[in-house]
Amino acid sequence: MKYLFFLTLSIYLVLCGLETVAQESIFPLRGNPVLKGVASTKQGEVLRTTSIDTLLMPFIDDFSREGVYPQADRWMDSGAFINTSFPVNPITIGVATLDGLNQFGNPYNINSGTSVPADYLTSLPIDLSANVNDTSIWLSFFYQPQGLGDAPEAGDSLVVEFRDTSGNWIHRWSVPGREDTVFQRVNLRVNNRVFLYRGFQFRFYNYATVNGNRDHWNLDYVILRTNTVANDSIRDNGFIRPRYSLLNEYQAMPYSHYKALGAPAAAITASITDSIRDINYGPTSFIYTSTIKDEFGNSLYASAPSSLPGASNSITAFNTSLNNFSYPITSADRAEFEMKNYVTITGAQSNLFNDTVKYRQVFDNFYAYDDGTAELGYGVTGNSGVKMAYKFDVKKADTLRAVDIYFNPTGVNVSTSLFQLAVWENVDPSGNTENLLYREINQRPQNIDSLNGFSRYTLDTLIVLQPGPVWVGFIQNSASLLIGLGLDRNTDNHQNMFYHVDGYWYASSIEGSWMMRPVFGDTLAGPISVQELTKNNSLLFDSYPQPANDLVRIVVNGPVVSEMLRFRILDISGKTLSEGTVTDFIDVKALPAGCYFLQLTDERRALQGTRKLMIHR
């Protein structure tokens, strides 16, 4: 039994399955901001809409197609999260993750403290009526408990059931929870006549504590096929992992800082490495190609196709030279580039969705070690002096204006707690010394329920930094209270993560990357997924869709009296183009395409907030 999230911190640390190293702790996320962002802007993706009555055999899904929900042409429900973030070495790229959250990214029951059925992954009806004498029908799948997420306990489980001719769900297989990062294969024979009919279904579901993003199970490569045998139903080749940044140090960096580098090519990795898995396919020949294009589709790089042989049930690694490639320099303030890597394979194969991987390289106004998605939360506790400092190597003299932080709820309400935003000129754990350059008091942790839910904390005094190292972070006012920070487990920069507790500085020993990003430049125009917090009297809100076309919906975090809430839309020069009282939607049909600022004012509470607003035609 796992206790409720809303307990005292001491009980929470002991009983909620935290992994601790010294005073460092990692713990499950409260929600899933990726699902929350998609569900709020693309409601149609949550709904199951299909014209298919009954599926024909074979049934195959390796969860490599784009989207965060199970494909509606295979599955009936939306509870599983389709992603590349939580698995460790999947069979092919993409898995279906079952956890304690619903399809909107929220806990099923925030007050639940026991393990109950949570996510369901149910197939559409399948026609097995022509197979009543067939004993060679097998359901095959791979599963992985935990992965990079939260390990399910022994009281949790993963379950498979078949639906019989009477509509009853019959238990066929289950496994208790455990800590593990290895995929195991399961084969279940479908040879009972009560399953061999038109309308047969199978389903997966997990037992989990449904008060958060916890008790993870990753599913991969589900196949239901006739005329086969156990462990012999897959014939495929595919990528295993997603792509990440080509930058040596960062996932993202300010475009102006990249342009200031004396040798931009030196900041980029010398080659691209990818892995292709051959699954029961037999000897074949892989032809690998990598391309890079700008945001307008112009080709910047194309590798000469390279060919390597692949053996059955093996992994083939490609290492392709970038030939001193560097991203082009333009006069723009930001830039985006898309890398696409793909393989073509001699002969036919069962799945073409996993033979291509893409990555979008963003140059904006911030440095980032993380990939934008948190798998776990991170925090530090102690008796006194809890500080967290993140080291960045700044590439040019520039003005530090803000820090974007992804706070993760810990289960203890910290929204009324205070911390100090901090910048250090130097932090030296070996000598236990520090040189504090700046701090701003009376800051509050903000948890933003949107895609890439960063909160922006602006500095009340601008700091001009010279090229070289700088440490950004915060100082907790209450040492014993755990303030959770998003932890990306797919990138590892713990060598740049430092914490101070009980009088001493330590280097972090937990692999991953804190989701904290320093923001530079002349202005604070920045990524639209960031909630901007300018002062303690800020009004916190989200607007969607982004970009907008005709109507913009406003969602305010916290109570508000609608008749006292007013909006203004400003152009980049600060000129007011439209204003009025906020209702459910704001009409922006009259505005031409471009970048604007949306400002809300709560006149009763004297609060004001500003968000970037993009209009697309």
> Phi and psi at residue 333, in whole multiples of 5°?
-80, -25
CA 304, chain centre distance (Å) = 32
At position 331, the amino acid (one-letter code) is S
| The pLDDT of residue 109 is above 80 | yes
Longest CA span, the chain: 78
Token code pair at residue 594: 């471009």
Q: What confidence tens digit (pLDDT) does each residue in 376-391 have?
A: 999 998 888 899 999 9
How confident is the model over 315-333, as a mean pLDDT? 93
Distance in angstroms (rounded) separating the CA atoms of residues 438 and 283: 61
Going by C-alpha positions, the residue among 387, 384, 378, 389 that lies closest to residue 498 is 389
| The pLDDT of residue 538 is above 70 | no
How confident is the model over 313-334, as a mean pLDDT? 93
Q: What confidence tens digit (pLDDT) does each residue in 122-135 have?
A: 999 999 998 877 77
Distance in angstroms (rounded) separating the CA atoms of residues 300 and 338: 10
Going by C-alpha positions, the residue among 457, 575, 437, 450 that lies closest to residue 524 is 457
Distance in angstroms (rounded) separating the CA atoms of residues 107 and 449: 13
Q: What is the pLDDT of residue 606?
A: 61
Q: What is the pLDDT of residue 533?
A: 44
Q: What confidence tens digit (pLDDT) does each residue in 58-82 have?
A: 999 999 998 999 999 999 999 999 9
CB of 124 within 8 A of CB of 76?
yes
Say which residue, 602 or 258, is predicted with more confidence.
258
Mean pLDDT estimate for the chain: 86
Q: What is the pLDDT of residue 350?
A: 62
Give strand pairing partners of 568.
579, 599
Distance in angstroms (rounded) separating the CA atoms of residues 469 and 498: 14
CB of 419 within 8 A of CB of 476?
yes
Length of the chain: 617
Q: What is the pLDDT of residue 504?
A: 95
How confident is the model over 150-165, as a mean pLDDT? 97
Q: What is the pLDDT of residue 14?
A: 37
How confident is the model over 166-184, as a mean pLDDT? 97
DSSP string, 226-288: SS--TT----EEEE-S----SBSS-SBEEHHHHHT-S-GGGGB-SEEEEEEEEES--SEEEEE
Q: What is the pLDDT of residue 70?
A: 96
Which domains does the chain show, CATH number per domain?
31-234 (2.60.120.260), 253-364 (2.60.40.10), 376-530 (2.60.120), 537-615 (2.60.40.1220)
Highest-pLDDT range among 119-133, 423-437, 438-452, 551-565: 423-437
Least confident span in 92-101, 397-406, 475-484, 510-519:
475-484
> Phi and psi at residue 98, in whole multiples of 5°?
-100, 135
| The pLDDT of residue 419 is above 50 | yes
- The alpha helices in 343-438, defined as continuous H runs, are none
How crowded is residue 307: how many other Cβ atoms within 10 Å of its Cβ?
12
Bridge-based pairing of strands 398-405 and 516-520 is antiparallel
